[in-house]
Structure 1
Amino acid sequence: MALIYPIRSDVPEPDEDSEPVFEELAADLSDTWLLQVEADEDDDGVSFGPMSAAAAFELALELDDRRPDWAISVLPLYVPGTADELIALFDDDDEVD
């Protein structure tokens, strides 16, 4: 699977069969999201958006089911705050530069 999406480091690993919680990602990172697709290594890729977190993930999952060899990234378009605040969302407390 080549589906790439952001996760927070300070939350427990979800169960494998659990549904994504789009509201948390939207609240923590952005209301608008972007989907990037690369069909092969030589492809520069294309971007789709803006869309909601739920719409981006639904489209990414559908594409991943139908084209598992594509690299698909789901990304927030806007993140308020400073670089340190953004880094803190993803880094463990003991990984401070």
Structure 2
Amino acid sequence: MTVTSEFNNLKELIEFVLDNNEESRSNDTKLFVECCKHLGVKTLDQISDSGINMISVHKLRQVIQNKEHKFLPSDSVIENRSKRNFDIKKYMVNFKAAN
């Protein structure tokens, strides 16, 4: 399976979960767990065999919400994510200046 087809299939799964589970729009862990359930994962040991990982789910969720503006989280989550992003950028500028 190519990376393109793998990510297209995963993106379809993520969009399905985001569309059908509003809570997953604001929580990457919930989104990942719901995706695993849809793939038939029943135990923690089966996660590594599921073919997905938390980072891929997180990155694709960002594309869907931030670039495509679909299945958006609550306003408070958008605000918190924006503030966190600002704080991280500020930290990195200070970190680079100190080194």
Normalised by the size of structure 2, how large is the TM-score? 0.30
Relative contact order (alpha carbons < 8 A, sep ≥ 6): 1 or 2 greater?
Answer: 1
Task: Point out the structure with the larger helix share.
Answer: 2
From the two aligned structures, give the one with the greater strand fraction: 1
Higher Cα Rg, which structure: 2
